[in-house]
Chains A and B, each alone.
Chain A
Amino acid sequence: MKKGKVLKIVTVLLVLGLLLVTGCGTGGTSSSQAAGGPITVTFWHSMGGVPAKTLTTLINKFNATHKDIQVKLVYQGSYDDAFNKLKASPDQGPDLFQVYDIGTRYMIDAGLVTPMQNFIDKSKFDLSQFEPHVLHYYEVGGKLYSMPFNTSVPVLYYNKTMFKAAGLDPNKPPLTFADVEKDAKALTTKSGGKTVYGFSQAIYGWFFEQYLARDGALYVNNGNGRDKAATESLVNSPAGVDILTWWKKMIDDGAATNLGRQTSATQAAFGAQQIAMTIDSCGILPNLTTAAAGKFKIGIAPLPRGNNASDSGPIIGGGSLWILKNKPKAEQEAAWKVVQWLTQPAQMAAWTVGTGYLPINKAAVNEQTYKDFLAKYPSYQVALDQLHNTPENRVTEGGRIGVFTSARATVENAIEQAVLNKATPQAALDAAAKKITSAIQEYNQTMGVK
């Protein structure tokens, strides 16, 4: 081959290489709209499995009924993954973004969003139909920055059939830590080298946050970071230590087992009747019911509370929808239309029925689809009652810090240390509180939060 020809080929390859490299930088956004065509709203979400199917069905229905707006659903992996992707390149983000409960502070501090309240005020959207506790959770300074969407509370699931076999009343589930401990002992049986445990809960920081609120204790100072920016973690309060002491004692006594961090592991064990009670989100009731079909009956009870705690309530969990501000006005308006449509009673009822998430639009319970659902899973009412019975205060509104993801992981590590006998509950939580406090202060410093 001639030298000139080689050079030519190489040059072409070089240019192609450049295209490859620079091409990566510009793809991926959807902000360019064909003139006159429908507006495309890119919607990043983190719903997997059954909820993903339900969301897709809903969005397909929206697209079919709205000729001027087309929603493009993009599954971005777990909440953490999606959140980290947005953090890494905010300019490549979507129009509409589902963020988990604990991402609120960061979303606002990072200045990436158009407050939902702007749209609500402008179109005089009626919020009176929405669950007030849910609205308060997401409000910052009386303003909604995002629209609550998928909402859940933790509940105690128990195996009614095993309750009966152990001589316990299947209609009297445990309500306090002491009750859980007592019942778990009665439910634990050994036969043929196999142990059925009375209780197991995943090492999941969300549960700890919930127990803390249930026992009336704050997660961080300054009114859970709601009166002004939090500066200090309070996870090592007596209530926190009580939670871990109880958790650890049941495992030490052999009445509970530690199945690690994955909630899927406890769910599988509960379905296989290897554990008699577990804690999980109300959202997984349909899944558990399927697993139990033909084998045993499931009961639901409110999240157990600490022995010395007054009757407070849990914080809500789940996610909310955000409209990003670096997109064209028309796309933001279109995204707002999607949000309005999704939170209407009919859609909310379909959403609850298809996922187990709470109907945050109160009118949804009057929809026939919801009534049928409740007839099929009557115990679901416990979850909704728990939401309604929760008093409104700084504790049950939940902590608000910009470093919640890392704080949660820190607490999970503390739980592991206590459960695996690496440290006492007090020592583990003291160390965790110290670490979280330093993370909060560093965050405040880099974000210029005062």
Chain B
Amino acid sequence: MQREEPKSEPGSQAKSGVKAKGAKELAHALVYLGPSLILFLIFVFYPMVKTVYLSFYLTNPGGDPVVWKGIQAYLTLLGSSSFRNSVVVSFLFVLYTVPGTILASLLLAVLANVKLRGIGVYRTLYSLTIGVSVASAATIWMLLFSPADNGMLNYFLHLVGLPKIGWLVTTRSALPSLALMTVWMGVGFNFIVLMGGLQSLPEEIFESARIDGAGRWKQFRHITVPLLSPTLFFLLVVDTIAAFQSFGQFNILTLGGPDHSTNVIVYSIYREAFFNSRFGPASAQAVVLFVIILILTLLQFGVVERKVHYQ
């Protein structure tokens, strides 16, 4: 398909002509954007507006707003220790998972980037977890995490003479355990993206660096990482958002417990809305989560992106 020239030729048309052309272009753009716009309107923007609307009400169990509460739900959230706990747990979860996932994937990607016979096998293996759904991963890890002696992880600990860990049943170990499983799951996607990034790096730069006497570490530190920084930045943003929105592993493995130690905001929203039928307060939490992610993403773009080296 041939693309139309986006800009009109300079000076060849009168002002009104430019305007007409602009409107025409807008119409044209709308036609192209139409399908996604409609989908976004129905599945994203409408629910968003409705969420804000619901957050001002107390609902009946059917979800119909019945009692106007104004900003009461937000005030309650601000003073609620359990919501504060959820915010802390969510941030901890991001902290435990995002750097870990990116570092582990980077390590694997650099390893798998060497040119060896059969390296394709390793590349496939490292990226396998992208094909595993949260539900199946959680079910597999539920068996691994089993706190009794029949749990696989505890069995390995026993083999090397270490004491058993409660994994999901103690408040101290539950969140790190979930993070471990989430890192494992995230490695697949991150690996593929980083691998793509690594493969697109120009070989000549490394060559001249080698001629200049740069060692492997120096090459990695001063060439690979800066050149890869757009990819790393993309992963940082995407992984952070994904970590904040994680739900499946919490729903299947811990139900937010023990004692709220894994009650992240998304899970708390789900409990509030669909178990406790308190759609109003749940919507308020959703709005707060939206604002948190928005601010974080803006911060990432404002602060971290300055260090990103675009070629």
Chain A contacts to B: CB under 8 angstroms: 1, 3, 6-7, 10, 13-14, 17-18, 21, 80, 84, 87-88, 90, 106, 109-110, 193-194, 203, 257-262, 265, 268-269, 272, 274-275, 402-403, 405-406, 409, 412-413, 416-417, 420, 422, 439, 442-443, 445-447
Residues of A within 8 A of B259 (CB): 413, 416-417, 420, 422
Tell me how many residue pairs across A and B have CB atoms closer than 8 Å.
116
Of A203, A268, A275, which one neighbours B146 at CB under 8 angstroms?
Answer: A268
A261-B257, A412-B257, A442-B58 as given contacts; A274 in contact with B150, CB under 8 Å: yes
Of A406, A409, A447, which one neighbours B60 at CB under 8 angstroms?
Answer: A447
A446 and B59 within 8 A (CB): yes
CA of A261 to CA of B256, assembled, Å: 11
A1 and B67 within 8 A (CB): no
CA of A150 to CA of B122, assembled, Å: 51
Residues of A within 8 A of B142 (CB): 262
Q: How far is the CB of B62 from chain A (nearest CB, A)?
A: 7
CA of A446 to CA of B278, assembled, Å: 10
B1-20 to A contact mask, C-beta < 8 Å, 1/0: 11010000000000000000
Question: Beyond the given A17-B35, A265-B148, A446-B58, could you list 18 further A-B residue pairs with CB under 8 A, ordered by the A residue number?
Answer: A1-B2, A6-B1, A17-B38, A87-B274, A88-B274, A110-B61, A257-B147, A258-B169, A260-B257, A268-B148, A405-B276, A406-B275, A406-B276, A412-B257, A413-B257, A413-B259, A416-B259, A445-B58
Q: How far is the CB of B58 from chain A (nearest CB, A)?
A: 6
Identity of the chain B residue whose Cβ is nearest the Cβ of A109 in the assembled complex: B61
A416 and B257 within 8 A (CB): yes
A272 and B148 within 8 A (CB): yes
Interface size on B, residues (CB 8 A): 42
Chain B contacts to A: CB under 8 angstroms: 1-2, 4, 31-32, 34-35, 38-39, 42, 58-63, 66-67, 142, 146-150, 158, 166, 168-171, 254-255, 257-260, 271, 274-278
A261 and B255 within 8 A (CB): yes
CA of A110 to CA of B61, assembled, Å: 8
**20 A-B interface contacts by CB (under 8 A):** A10-B34, A14-B38, A21-B38, A21-B42, A84-B274, A87-B62, A110-B62, A259-B169, A260-B169, A261-B255, A261-B258, A265-B147, A402-B61, A413-B257, A413-B259, A416-B259, A439-B276, A445-B58, A446-B58, A446-B59
